[in-house]
């Protein structure tokens, strides 16, 4: 007989746990919250889609509960804690996004299923954190979740820099 210890059937995606930082949540009632403060974070992840919205139309059904997608007007409308999904990514677009956006912002480049390896290498070199071919919603959603985990892990890594000197 096989006994499973610590089995958990409950989906607890991105709830406070041992890997979460104790941070104050973003005051959504504030007229203009401080989006560049390292101690502020949106309560739920947001995916900002730039480029062709039709290529990611089925994505919301595959994202975890609480995640939202939005379509910003341009790069100036993207917030620092969002994950940027560049649909139909090119080297120029990704390079511009990386130059303009905060280092806290994760950039996911979505390219055609049959995109040449040179394009994949170019968007990664230009600053994309990950490049996904094809854009099947379940695979794309899993890459976005992984990017979010890296965002949270980076907060732990940079915690020493944020602490006041003693």
CA distance 14 to 7: 18
Pick from 17, 39, 18, 19: which is nearest to 27 by CA? 39
In contact, 110 and 140? CB cutoff 8 Å: yes
Asked, for residue 104, whether it belongs to a domain, the answer is yes
Asked, for residue 114, whether it belongs to a domain, the answer is yes
Q: What is the pLDDT of residues 111-158, one digit of tens each?
A: 999 999 999 999 999 999 999 998 899 999 999 999 998 888 776 666
Asked, for residue 4, whether it belongs to a domain, the answer is no
Asked, for residue 19, whether it belongs to a domain, the answer is no
CA distance 126 to 141: 22
DSSP conformation class of 64: P
Asked, for residue 35, whether it belongs to a domain, the answer is no
Count the domains in the chain: 1
Asked, for residue 94, whether it belongs to a domain, the answer is yes
Q: What is the pLDDT of residues 19-50, one digit of tens each?
A: 444 444 444 454 444 544 444 445 689 999 99
pLDDT of residue 2: 47
Look over the chain and give the mean of its residue pLDDT values, rounded to a whole number: 79
The domain of 94 spans: 46-159
Asked, for residue 87, whether it belongs to a domain, the answer is yes
Asked, for residue 53, whether it belongs to a domain, the answer is yes
For residue 100, what is the domain's CATH number?
Answer: 3.40.50.2300
Which residue shows structure tokens 């968007």? Answer: 123
């Amino acid at each position: 007989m096989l006994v499973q210890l610590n089995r958990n059937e409950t989906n607890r995606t991105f709830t406070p746990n041992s890997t979460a930082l104790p941070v104050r949540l973003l005051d959504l009632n504030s007229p203009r919250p401080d989006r560049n403060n390292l101690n502020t974070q949106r309560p739920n992840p947001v995916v900002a889609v730039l480029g062709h919205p039709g290529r990611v139309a089925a994505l919301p059904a595959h994202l975890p509960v609480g995640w939202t997608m939005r379509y910003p007007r341009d790069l100036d409308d993207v917030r620092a804690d969002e994950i940027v999904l560049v649909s139909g990514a090119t080297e120029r677009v990704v390079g511009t996004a990386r130059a303009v956006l905060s280092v806290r912002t994760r950039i996911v480049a979505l390219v055609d299923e049959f995109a040449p390896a040179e394009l994949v290498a170019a968007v990664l070199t230009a600053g994309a954190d990950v490049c996904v071919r094809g854009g099947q919603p379940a695979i794309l959603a899993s890459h976005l979740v992984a990017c979010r985990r890296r965002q949270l892990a980076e907060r732990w890594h940079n915690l020493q820099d944020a602490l006041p000197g003693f």
